Amino acid sequence: MNGGWSQIWADVEQFRLEHLGSQCTALPVDVFTIVELKLRLDVIPFDDLAAKYQIDAALTQDFRGMYVDAESYIVWEKGPVWKQNRLRFTVAHELGHFVLHREQASKLKFSSFDQFAAQFKGSGGPRYTIEQEANEFAGRLLVPIERLRACYDEFAAKASTIMPNWRLSDDLRTKFAESAGPKFGVNAQVILARLDREDLWPSR
């Protein structure tokens, strides 16, 4: 059961094959290498992007570059892990838009960045669907199913020896997500979402 995400998953795996090749097993996924070297997008530091517009990154309107909150970009290598994880997911989310929504976006015209940023404030209808699709792309890209399944199988083998019905424990599920997150460079919530989406360990 994949909730109708099959096409997006196929798009992710094709993207992974084209742009990561033999490096597809390296974790965390190096999204900035993809953006700058593989897709050759201009990365444009934007002062106070997060503070002013509540977004950490956004593709330029012509899809030739990506705005990134200047502070977040500066601390990418040495900043707090939570901020690195958040920016990694946001950039992967924008890659989702790059792959999935370029045709739709090309029909939109904005006269100012304020007008452009306002599109991110919508939360219903088509906007919600588009954002969910980009989130799914990002989650699948950053958390490859084979690697997640391997982590899960290793955890399951240990858990089954010490606790009957361990899959019924929400605490264990959360602990697994917290332990797996650093391997993929994402926060625990992303792992929990993947466990649901991939039907590996669905929430009850």
Q: So what's the pLDDT on residue 1?
A: 46
More reliable by pLDDT, 86 or 78: 86
Residue 156 confidence class, pLDDT cut points 50, 70, 90? very high
C-alpha to C-alpha distance for 69 and 37, rounded to whole angstroms: 19
Q: What is the pLDDT of residues 102-124, one digit of tens each?
A: 876 656 666 666 666 666 555 55
pLDDT at 137 over 50: yes
Alpha helices, DSSP H, located in the chain: 6-19, 31-33, 49-53, 70-74, 81-100, 102-105, 113-118, 125-142, 145-162, 170-184, 188-197
Q: So what's the pLDDT on residue 114?
A: 67
pLDDT at 128 over 90: no
Q: What is the mean pLDDT of residues 168-187?
A: 97
Q: What is the mean pLDDT of residues 51-77?
A: 90
Residue (of 192, 197, 195, 187) closest to 86 by Cα position: 187
The percentage of the chain sitting over the pLDDT mark of 90, rounded to a whole number, equals: 69
- H-helix or E-strand containing 58? strand 57-59
Strand order in the sheet with 57-59: 42-46, 65-69, 57-59
DSSP string, 146-172: HHHHHHHHHHHHHHHHH-TTGGG-HHH
Q: So what's the pLDDT on residue 76?
A: 81
Q: So what's the pLDDT on residue 122?
A: 55
